[in-house]
Amino acid sequence: MSAGLAEAPAAAGRVALGLTVNGRPVRVEAEPRSHLGDVLREDLTLTGTHLGCEHGVCGACTVLIDGEPARACLTFAGACAGAEVTTIEGLDDDPVAAELRAAFNREHALQCGYCTPGMLVSARDLVLRLPEADAQRIRVGLSGNLCRCTGYAGIVRAVASVIADRRARGIGPSGPAPRPLGPVGARAGEGLAAAPRPPATAAAAAPGAAPTLAGTFRPAHRFTQTIDLAHPPEAVFALLGDIAAVAACLPGAVLTGRPAPDAVEGGLQVRIGPIAATFRGRALIERDVAARTGRVRGAGSDAGGRSATEGEIRYRVEPGAEPGTARVALEVGYSLTGPLAQFGRPGLVRDLAGRIAAAFARNLDAQLSGAAPPAPAALNPVRLLLGLIRARLAAWLARA
């Protein structure tokens, strides 16, 4: 692109976007709703990035954004200002990609080839990250990349052979460079140059370290939720101040230390299909007794999966519709980064939160009614997904 074009203002309805693509600084104009896959293919003619389902499921559009595998079809181009984007074309001279291409040919790991660019990008991440050639971990790592031809056996053999060969040559795994919390590619850069990374703290540099709770938190996603309980508001608010009791009622929650009135250390265990995560971290707690409001702000990370999250829950306990009842109004904000961010769509998160809130309400009701304390609640993915399916069918039938 010419210097004159780079300086020209964006056309009406479009935004000027500065990126570094395959090591080359570029500026393009795109509509705010354009996703990165279309910008790469149509504006930059990098057609090695394939678009398949365009729902973030098949993985054919996987590219590297700031060194992290990401779905180009789910990523708004406007969120990538200043980011470093690497497509399959940018890996022509990459030594790991070269070894993988040879292994894919040797192990017959491709047929039609449509999934292969995204598969290679994800496989390269595994080669750099996994300590050894574990077939099960390779399959889990590639579970977000679908292939309709090969049956995956050759792909797994190819990735395993490259990992084993590199480890035998004394080339060990390398962890990801620390980067700001937020969706992959969400760096606050402007112009053509990539945004500078903030100084790495000791906590951020450690693998799996949780984000800090300093500074202002601006969540990437927000939603609201209400819980109705047949108990007086003052009793409900008092129970919400008992951190151990609340953790016992919350599916998947565990405490790892003795809670203090204003802070707690613990975690949240989640497993859905092949995707598993145990987020461990710390939360700060604020309560206003007079207003019956509270705020919980926490941050945690999954050391095994390289995903991290930060969020806050603001709650307000109000009188319910009937005398002697209470309504808990929740405002939830969160940001998610790492591999799980590619699957954590806001709609799915809201649906799952609704199921978790319903289980939480049942356990709170049992506590307030004087029943035996609930057993440590586990997050049952089968029950949650079946509930999601029933809800979606009911909504579809209602529209029919």
Sketch out the chain's domains with CATH numbers.
1-198 (3.10.20.30), 206-399 (3.30.530.20)
Distance between CA 102 and CA 104 in Å, rounded? 6
Q: Does residue 183 have a pLDDT over 60?
A: no
* Beta bridge pairs of residue 14: none
How high is the pLDDT of residue 209? 45
Mean pLDDT over the full length of the chain: 79
Amino acid 256 reads: T
Judged by DSSP in three states, 359 sits in: helix
> β-strands 62-65, 307-319: how paired?
unpaired
What is the reported pTM? 0.53
**Which residues, including other chains, have CB under 8 Å from residue 277's CB and lie 6 or more apart?**
269, 270, 271, 302, 304, 305, 307, 340
Q: Does residue 203 have a pLDDT over 50?
A: no
How high is the pLDDT of residue 217? 78
How high is the pLDDT of residue 380? 52
- Confidence class of residue 93 from pLDDT cuts 50, 70 and 90? very high
Distance between CA 259 and CA 264 in Å, rounded? 5
Distance between CA 83 and CA 162 in Å, rounded? 29
Name the nearest CA neighbour of 96 among 72, 113, 121, 132. Answer: 121
Higher pLDDT, 134 or 13: 134
Tens of pLDDT, residues 281-308? 888 999 999 999 999 998 888 766 567 7
- Confidence class of residue 5 from pLDDT cuts 50, 70 and 90? very low
Judged by DSSP in three states, 116 sits in: helix
- Confidence class of residue 225 from pLDDT cuts 50, 70 and 90? confident
How high is the pLDDT of residue 1? 37
- Confidence class of residue 191 from pLDDT cuts 50, 70 and 90? very low
- Confidence class of residue 135 from pLDDT cuts 50, 70 and 90? very high
Tokens describing residue 242:
């008992």
How high is the pLDDT of residue 400? 57
Distance between CA 292 and CA 135 in Å, rounded? 52
